[in-house]
Structure 1
Amino acid sequence: MRSRLVTPLLAAAAVLLSTVPATTGQAAPASPTTPAPSRSVTLPTGDRVNLYPNGAYGFEPAAGRDGIGYLSPKALDGSGDVSFIPADMVGEFGEGGLDPRRFNVSALLRAGVTDAATAPVADARAYDGLVPASANTLATKETRTVTVTFRDKSGAVPDNVNASVVSADGAVWDSVYLDDAAVATMELPPGEYGLAADILDAAEGDRKAVYVAALKTFTVGDAPVAITVNGAKSVPVTAKVERRSTLEARQLNLTWAYGGEEPGQLRTDASFGPDVAVYATPLADPRAGYAHSEIRNGPQGANGSYTYRLLFTEAGKVPARLVHEVDDDELAAVAVEYGGFGIPAAAARLCFNQGHADRREVPSCISETVDLPYRGTELVVADPDLYNLPSIELRDRETWQTMGYDGPPRSFAAPGDYEWSVGTGPLTYGIRPYATEDPDDDKGASGMYRVDDLLYFGFDQLGDGPAGEDYWLYGGDMDDSPLNNVAVITRDGAEINRITGDVTWFDTGLPPGEAGRYRLVIDGHLDVPWSNLLTGYRLDWTFDTAPSGVPEKSTPLPFSLVVFGADGVHGGVADRETPQRVTLDYTSQSGGTEATASTLAFEVSYDEGATWTSVALDRDGDHATATLHHPAGAGFVSVRTTATDDLGSSITQTTVRSYALV
């Protein structure tokens, strides 16, 4: 071990990683609004961190490293950067050890880096532990000496400590540097402070590893201050349930809110498997918060499997008793069914994210390996303010190309029996409209926008499901997508740019001040082992564009698309003999000029797009419905929608094998 005691990643936002070089035909946009295409990164330890479209993070240990757990401290500078530190690496930073910049997952993903061990590092500053050696944000006014002594659960010097301190007004924050006796000496100006610490003792012999999450508040006045963060005063954190079950994983967060111009949270953040004993120090303080999640799996029985997915939260304190005893009749018993993509799939990753609607989330999801279709019973806490949100992903372990979806969030207000099916939408190829104006929001990862005389096109996403499901595709690197595309943009029939291969976005330069009418056509197909759907697609869009008149302003284009939905689809499959209601909704890219559909048409094919049949629509404005009567022997449904709008744009979307029939 290089350093017994280490500090948090407070300087995560200052980490500078050089961007991935641009490839021929796919120039890296200079605009800061361009979203990062990478969503997974391999740490130097071989462990994998995945960023799900819903914003949750998932930690996937490398082979032979199951159950090690991790800390995921956040920067306290308002950047929101997240670093993942495997629990067995906590003491290996500094003195020529591990490079903390290679564990800042947020910065790595922004730079499109997927292999942290080989990330080109542009920041050459010396690091002391996990922060730059020169990092010091203390105010330059009179200070007092503050001495902090850390002790583990047994009252002894801990193996590892990760600690940070912040003033109540947010004006002062600093890392906590400790000597080999687990004592820190700091110079702090007068004021009120919060201190958060992760205290971890490694397993030894038959003894489990022991983790203590600690919050401490103290006041600096006119005299020196001496305090002890005493893990011996911590209490066990666990859940006791009614049915027989095995603990799979748990996550613990303690938070302490601070104010000032940029208010935020001081927090501990750790996840562990069953081989780590977990404790927390109680604290009665209105700014304190507590969240503990736990997964417990029951045995496979005649009626299927059951899983306890429990989340307990508290605002205003860390309770003195953290053993949560729950009976089944206090929980919501949710019969779940998660579909795949047309065929059964083994070894899918199920991430079940839970959080509190208005005060704290548990952003690092605890993922499991399941087979699709998946059926079981989830026993969850019944609380209208707690949400549950599953993500399913299928991934090629060689390329890390990934296909998946998020289910819409759902809360269960009262105990009882519920049903929840996710993965019920058909697959349709389409460019997702902007969901927010935040360029760092993953939902902005596709769409059409213009910056000065550059047009940007992102088309790596599937359309949203009609039930609120969010389908997605991405590759393991910037130039590595499951989609095989040919994208051509023309003006007045003259080709301006052509991109081929597994690209997911590109930019096209225009003559200075150019305004006019353009046509974008994207043809492609999906060829992956976990799906027999989306074997062909075509997007044909005609649109007008002009400079925004504001230099460097990113402006969404007046792009619209048709969202297609079909009843009775589950896991990419529908019943051939059941008449099927389908829906079409014309929608505009958020942030752009709102458009209204002038014409709307729908066609269906049962021979992989060789022939098409027009389907009568019952239309009401931008919404339309129809009923499909599938012919005997049909194996797949292919769909084509065509629309024009009152802005003069037109779009045709074709999806071959939107879903299967049985």
Structure 2
Amino acid sequence: MTGPDGATAPAGLFTASARQVTVPAGGKKEVTLTADTGVDAADGTWSGRLVATGQNSRLVTPFAVHREVESYDVTLTDLDANGEPTGQHSTVLVNLDTDIDKAFWEPDGTATVRMPKGRYGLASRIFTGDGVAVIARPELVLDKDTSITVDARDAKPVEVTATLPQKGARLFQANVGYSFGTAKGTLATFGVMGSSFDGISVGHTGSPASGEKFTALVSGQWAEPGADGTYGNSPYLYASAEEFEGRLPDGFQENYEERDFATVRQDFRNPSGGELGGFRYLDPIVGIVAGYALPVPVPGKRVEHVTGGTAWSSALWLNDGTMFESPLRTYRAGRTYDDLWNTAPYGPNLNATHTFTGVGRLEDRLTVKAPLFGDGAGHPGDAPVSAGRTALYRDGELAGESAYAGFGSFTMGADPATYRLETSATRASGDLASRIDVAWTFPSARADRYTRPALLALGFSPRLDADNAAPGGQAFKVPFTVSHQPGSTGRGKIKKPAVEVSYDDGKTWRSARVAPVGKGWTALVRHPEGPGFVSLRTTAGDSAGNRVTQTVMQAYRLK
């Protein structure tokens, strides 16, 4: 008999009514097996086999019992716009400790489900004819049998408009979304998104929560449609966002004007030359997808206007399979900003985005989503590769490996240990960043909550021309930064880094002089005459035992 995690069954959990019976020829005997889940035993499933043997026979009967965790009945009723029970809904309870959700549905609108004791978030959409009522409860403590009524009449209309100087601008994206923060450090996200706010209503139920536990968003986007009715060729985009911490609003009405927006001039480059093309989306707040991807010219430009005060992220997906995403950035209304994409030097970037969450540990699992081809402007990015590998070593012994560059999931030990995370990639096309190799060393131990180890990130920003080239035959400064992975724990004081440079694709290396400048560093190199490439190899560490060695072959061009 075994139980959860292979535990041995305690005495008294299973009892047979007899240990021995005599069965007459052609007759039968019954033995009753009793399970007593009141004994001191772990919650979960216990199973075994009851074996009866005779002179020439053997009978095996499997058995199991589930010892339920402390649980209670939850009865949930959804009411439509007329106050009548309805099955036209999507309602979920999210366990805020485990990030596991459970859907409730019965055709008559009332469903009862048995749930473990704990904290839950309620997410509901009630479909009302041509509309939908979005209702949420940030936290419900389940410690007894509970009945909940979700009433579409508690939701109020959402009306979002914009008075813009471009008379051809049209609303093409409307979003109401929200996220529950869980004890594991993850987000559980729900909402609705369409091309209009018509018919969308929103409402809150229960007490408010803190901003860390619950965040809501109402956002819209406007652009100019082309002759075919699509918005991909619009030279401009307006995007609004209103964030609510701790609760959903009870309805929302707003008209935005030009003064409410910041201006961001986007410049999309193609270092390989020629027309490439791609797609772009613009989203407020990591964790709530709120924007449609629109085609953009690459190389090309687009002027974007975003409301101030909200943190925005965005992405550029190129038609050759390369993609970049931006970390969250906040803008001030009335200001103008410039954002440059797809420029050298390329390399790893550990800032968290929608897709690229960096490197994080939950319990004994290390998750790696740290692509190697972020651009020189600070956008994390990935690119097609012809070969790749990611591997984790624990105290020098291989713990696991993946055939994907910058991605993987690995089992770690519970006890404190020193880990080395290695990743490498050979780029499939293009002559810049033809190969990248990185090795991060860091200490770590089991964590019950999602944590990010203090990996060291390097960011290079040399002054290059539009062809990602620097002048040859002269001294040249290469500014760079060394920083810890954002949101990480276990940081130490960063020590002086070392930089080496190669002009023959790594056959020979020479040390660069490194000096502190402001909050970063500068490597002074001397470029040879004539065209070519510059490769960079950098080593950095801190006082807590974190260390990085990074090599970027053909980091930028010489002319």
TM-score (norm: length of structure 1): 0.51
State the partner residue of 1:287: 208
State the partner residue of 2:462: 567
- The question of whether the paired residues in 2 share the 8 Å contact of 1:177 and 1:184 is answered with yes
> Whole-Å Cα distance in 1 between the matches of residues 105 and 85 of structure 2?
15
Amino acid at match of 1:197: S
Structure 2 CA distance for partners of 1:445 and 1:573, relative to 1, 3 Å? farther
State the partner residue of 1:331: 261
- The question of whether the paired residues in 1 share the 8 Å contact of 2:401 and 2:410 is answered with no
Q: 1:307 deviation in Å?
A: 0.1
Q: 1:427 deviation in Å?
A: 0.9
> Whole-Å Cα distance in 2 between the matches of residues 565 and 292 of structure 1?
37
Amino acid at match of 2:500: F
Structure 2 CA distance for partners of 1:167 and 1:639, relative to 1, 3 Å? closer
Amino acid at match of 2:385: P
- The question of whether the paired residues in 2 share the 8 Å contact of 1:198 and 1:212 is answered with yes
Long gaps (5+) in structure 2: 1-67, 115-119, 141-145, 210-214
Q: Deviations over 1:211-247 (max 9, x none)?
A: 33246999xxxxx999783469752533233222233
Amino acid at match of 1:618: A
Q: Deviations over 1:25-50 (max 9, x none)?
A: xxxxxxxxxxxxxxxxxxxxxxxxxx
State the partner residue of 1:380: 306
Amino acid at match of 2:536: V
Q: 1:390 deviation in Å?
A: 1.7
Structure 2 CA distance for partners of 1:148 and 1:305, relative to 1, 3 Å? closer
SS at match of 2:345: coil
Q: Which residue of the other structure, out of 600, 604, 611, is the alignment partner of 2:498?
A: 600
* Correspondences of 1:183-582 after superposition (within 5 Å): 183-184=109-110, 197-200=124-127, 210-214=131-135, 229-230=151-152, 234-242=156-164, 243=166, 244-253=168-177, 269-273=191-195, 277-281=198-202, 287=208, 291-298=217-224, 305-314=235-244, 322-339=252-269, 342-343=272-273, 346-355=276-285, 362-363=288-289, 365-383=291-309, 386-394=310-318, 403-423=322-342, 426-428=345-347, 442-444=357-359, 461-462=371-372, 468-472=378-382, 482=385, 484-485=387-388, 524-528=425-429, 531-538=430-437, 563-569=458-464, 573-574=468-469, 576=471, 581-582=477-478
- The question of whether the paired residues in 1 share the 8 Å contact of 2:315 and 2:324 is answered with yes
> Whole-Å Cα distance in 2 between the matches of residues 499 and 227 of structure 1?
49
Amino acid at match of 1:331: F
Q: Which residue of the other structure, out of 618, 621, 645, is the alignment partner of 2:515?
A: 618
SS at match of 1:346: coil
Q: Deviations over 1:613-655 (max 9, x none)?
A: 6544335799531356766752543323356888999975432
SS at match of 1:444: strand
> Whole-Å Cα distance in 1 between the matches of residues 469 and 535 of structure 2?
13
Structure 2 CA distance for partners of 1:200 and 1:661, relative to 1, 3 Å? farther
Long gaps (5+) in structure 1: 1-134, 203-208, 219-223, 397-401, 474-480
Task: Tell me the C-alpha RMSD between the 2 structures.
Answer: 6.3
Q: 1:369 deviation in Å?
A: 3.2
Structure 2 CA distance for partners of 1:271 and 1:576, relative to 1, 3 Å? farther
Q: Deviations over 1:7-58 (max 9, x none)?
A: xxxxxxxxxxxxxxxxxxxxxxxxxxxxxxxxxxxxxxxxxxxxxxxxxxxx
Q: Percent identical across equivalent pairs?
A: 17
- The question of whether the paired residues in 2 share the 8 Å contact of 1:389 and 1:408 is answered with yes
State the partner residue of 1:163: 91
> Whole-Å Cα distance in 2 between the matches of residues 240 and 177 of structure 1?
38
Structure 2 CA distance for partners of 1:368 and 1:630, relative to 1, 3 Å? farther
SS at match of 2:339: strand
> Whole-Å Cα distance in 2 between the matches of residues 339 and 233 of structure 1?
45
Q: Deviations over 1:358-395 (max 9, x none)?
A: xxx63455433333344222111122xx1112223347
Q: Deviations over 1:36-81 (max 9, x none)?
A: xxxxxxxxxxxxxxxxxxxxxxxxxxxxxxxxxxxxxxxxxxxxxx
Structure 2 CA distance for partners of 1:137 and 1:389, relative to 1, 3 Å? farther
SS at match of 2:531: coil
- The question of whether the paired residues in 2 share the 8 Å contact of 1:334 and 1:420 is answered with yes
* Correspondences of 1:647-662 after superposition (within 5 Å): 653-660=550-557
- The question of whether the paired residues in 2 share the 8 Å contact of 1:483 and 1:502 is answered with no
- Structure whose alpha-carbon radius of gyration is higher: 2
SS at match of 2:259: helix
SS at match of 1:139: strand
> Whole-Å Cα distance in 1 between the matches of residues 495 and 274 of structure 2?
38
SS at match of 1:567: coil
Structure 2 CA distance for partners of 1:597 and 1:266, relative to 1, 3 Å? closer
Q: Deviations over 1:330-380 (max 9, x none)?
A: 322222234456556634342322139xxxx63455433333344222111
- The question of whether the paired residues in 2 share the 8 Å contact of 1:463 and 1:563 is answered with no
Q: 1:249 deviation in Å?
A: 2.2
Q: 1:270 deviation in Å?
A: 1.4
State the partner residue of 1:22: none
Structure having the higher strand fraction is 2
Structure 2 CA distance for partners of 1:441 and 1:633, relative to 1, 3 Å? closer
Amino acid at match of 1:280: S
> Whole-Å Cα distance in 2 between the matches of residues 251 and 161 of structure 1?
18
Q: Deviations over 1:489-547 (max 9, x none)?
A: 99xxx9999989656578999xxx9x99x99997752104xx44221345589x8x9x9
Structure 2 CA distance for partners of 1:496 and 1:631, relative to 1, 3 Å? same
> Whole-Å Cα distance in 2 between the matches of residues 316 and 648 of structure 1?
38
- The question of whether the paired residues in 2 share the 8 Å contact of 1:464 and 1:563 is answered with no
> Whole-Å Cα distance in 2 between the matches of residues 562 and 165 of structure 1?
38
SS at match of 2:208: strand
Q: 1:151 deviation in Å?
A: 3.6
Q: 1:162 deviation in Å?
A: 1.1
State the partner residue of 1:19: none
Amino acid at match of 1:213: V
- The question of whether the paired residues in 2 share the 8 Å contact of 1:159 and 1:201 is answered with no
Q: Deviations over 1:393-428 (max 9, x none)?
A: 3476xxxxx643332422123334333335555113
* Correspondences of 1:13-24 after superposition (within 5 Å): none
Structure 2 CA distance for partners of 1:488 and 1:148, relative to 1, 3 Å? closer
Structure 2 CA distance for partners of 1:156 and 1:569, relative to 1, 3 Å? farther
TM-score (norm: length of structure 2): 0.58
Structure 2 CA distance for partners of 1:598 and 1:422, relative to 1, 3 Å? closer
> Whole-Å Cα distance in 2 between the matches of residues 187 and 656 of structure 1?
58
- The question of whether the paired residues in 2 share the 8 Å contact of 1:599 and 1:645 is answered with no
Structure 2 CA distance for partners of 1:486 and 1:148, relative to 1, 3 Å? closer
> Whole-Å Cα distance in 2 between the matches of residues 147 and 642 of structure 1?
60
> Whole-Å Cα distance in 1 between the matches of residues 549 and 95 of structure 2?
57
